[in-house]
Amino acid sequence: MKDNKRRGFIKNTLLAGASMPLLGMSQSIEQKEKKVTPFKINTSANPKKIVVGGAGMGGLCTAYELMRLGHDVTVLEASGRHGGHVFTVHDGLSDGLYGDGGQEHITKPGYELYWKYIDEFGLTVLPYERRKNLLRSIGGKFYTQEMLHDPSVLKGMGFNQREIDHLTVHPWGELKWLYIDSYLDKFEDEYQPFGIGYDDFDEVPMVEIYKKEGASPRALELLGGKNSSALFELWYSAILKKRGVANFPLDVYHLKGGNQMLPDAFAKRLGPRVWLNHRITSIENGKNKVNVTYVRNNETNTIEADYYVNCIPPPAFKKIPVSPAISAEKQYALDSVAYDSYQRFVFQASSEFWLEDGLDHINMNFEHPDLWSVWQSADEVDTHRVIVLGTGPGGISPQRALAAFREVYPGKKDTIEQALGRDWTKQKYAPTCERLAFPMGELKKIWPLLIEPEGRIHFAGAYADNLNWGTEAATRSANRVAKEIDEA
């Protein structure tokens, strides 16, 4: 049934002229599936020894690039697995099914370095329909995408005429562009938000810009921005515009077999350079060397290196003593990084039960406090069973999340067989998800100090870039740091 449904979808969207780029990308990706770029380690004229803290995407990518440049690199990871916030669930699922418990998707454009590694490692990318044909619960009522583009529906919700004209032809996630696009072209360097005439906006909440530009009360509810710096928000949007990325891209993708495939590929090439269950306990940031002390199986050892690269999220890094102490300004920047965190639920069902209820998709956003959204995943696996992923708050059981789904699901019944969860709020070494927007008045204290080295300590990872786009930020910051150390 799934194959017939997929073929029907492709046929119908081709007739509508909507999926030619999508289909073309899928075919070209499949052709590249088994082409792996030969691996070569260069000889450095000035080889250095580097310790990388953390084997998430940022740490693995940094180590990989340094290794390719001919340097001696060791990755110390406190937990028993690599990948950090990229985690694909297999255990407990049937028929070869899987669910991504962390990183959700990638975009194109956007994630340019990530795509480079996909090609290099011969991985396969699949289109991800999770943001299309979305059903949204608003005020206790479900709305289809067609309804949310209907002028009469939009008027009834309280949008003004300018907003109605915009939302009839643009996704809801792009509403902010209506008010901010005229501000963005003044940002010339995507890594420099200051000195273009907007510095005072760091003290202004973003909501004031929306109000100034005529946003309706209904739009203000949707856009938020009461506590975030207007300068930060405008800079963020300017970066997306420069990269040609939508604020809320509808065309997204994921790796066949799960997004864990990319950190696995990095780790495979790094081989014994990745040391798991090695918890860093202290760092000595000397004038000419660094000494990194770690514990494994209650045994303490120290590695002397030329540089240390911190890819451990700041809340966890703060617990590691550094001597001499990190400067007060740098420590403030690290301490000021705030994150969201959540739980990913993996529901395994015996069928695509929503089809029996007349629904084409299970992509839904809810207003329930225990479950915020659900969507289908792993539909390329040849089985009648299906995976429905969900996101919600930490601290609740998967069974409670399932009960929430059954409470709000607009169909008659489901065929969910079991529910699993990955509660990131409970993870000891990787509790943080994406970095949040900087609050008012803080950007000038945090940027660019956040990404600058402190003596022989460099900083990479999802937190150490201009965008908070998880693995995109990780790969960009990793390449930046590898270049800095190689050229030092």
Q: Give pLDDT tens digits along the chain (488 positions).
A: 444 444 333 333 333 333 333 333 443 444 344 577 777 888 888 999 999 999 999 999 999 999 999 999 999 999 999 999 999 999 999 999 999 999 999 999 999 999 999 999 999 999 999 999 999 999 999 999 999 999 999 999 999 999 999 999 999 999 999 999 999 999 999 999 999 999 999 999 999 999 999 999 999 999 999 999 999 999 999 999 999 999 999 999 999 999 999 999 999 999 999 999 999 999 999 999 999 999 999 999 999 999 999 999 999 999 999 999 999 999 999 999 999 999 999 999 999 999 999 999 999 999 999 999 999 999 999 999 999 999 999 999 999 999 999 999 999 999 999 999 999 999 999 888 889 998 899 999 999 999 999 999 999 999 999 998 889 999 999 999 999 999 99
Does 120 reside within a domain? yes
E strand segments, 187-305: 252-255, 274-275, 279-285, 290-296, 299-305
Query: Are 160 and 217 within one domain?
Result: yes
Sheet holding 322-323, edge to edge: 299-305, 290-296, 279-285, 322-323
Query: Are 150 and 237 within one domain?
Result: yes
Phi (first) and psi of residue 168, to 5 degrees: -70, -20
The residue behind tokens 């940027």 is: 447
Please state, in angstroms and rounded to a whole number, the distance separating the CA atoms of residues 223 and 241: 18
Does 125 reside within a domain? yes
pLDDT of residue 36: 79
pLDDT of residue 41: 87
Query: Are 68 and 189 within one domain?
Result: no
Query: Are 239 and 152 within one domain?
Result: yes
Does 369 reside within a domain? yes
Does 177 reside within a domain? yes
pLDDT of residue 3: 45
The SS3 assignment for 86 reads coil
Q: Where does residue 210 rank: exposed (0-12), middle (13-18), buried (19+ CB within 10 A)?
A: buried
Does 137 reside within a domain? no
182, containing H or E segment: helix 177-184
pLDDT of residue 20: 30
Q: At 285, which CATH number?
A: 3.50.50.60
Query: Are 97 and 72 within one domain?
Result: no
- The residue from 218, 243, 268 where one domain ends is 243
Query: Are 331 and 478 within one domain?
Result: yes
- CA 86 to chain CA centroid, Å, is 9
Query: Are 373 and 419 within one domain?
Result: yes
- CA 152 to chain CA centroid, Å, is 35
DSSP category for residue 274: E
Query: Are 299 and 375 within one domain?
Result: no
The residue behind tokens 């990269």 is: 243
Query: Are 228 and 150 within one domain?
Result: yes
374, containing H or E segment: strand 371-377
Q: At 373, which CATH number?
A: 3.90.660.10
Query: Are 271 and 328 within one domain?
Result: yes
- CA 255 to chain CA centroid, Å, is 14
Does 25 reside within a domain? no
CA angle 176–177–182, rounded 5-degree value: 125
Number of separate domains in the chain: 3
Please state, in angstroms and rounded to a whole number, the distance separating the CA atoms of residues 476 and 111: 9
pLDDT of residue 350: 98
pLDDT of residue 213: 97
Does 23 reside within a domain? no
pLDDT of residue 38: 75
- The residue from 243, 269, 290 where one domain ends is 243
Query: Are 322 and 465 within one domain?
Result: yes
- Classify 443 in phi/psi space as left (phi over 0), alpha (psi -120 to 50) or beta: alpha
Query: Are 214 and 278 within one domain?
Result: no
- Sequence length of the chain is 488
Q: Which amino acid is at 284?
A: E
Q: Domain range for residue 226?
A: 146-243
- The residue from 243, 270, 286 where one domain ends is 243
Does 386 reside within a domain? yes
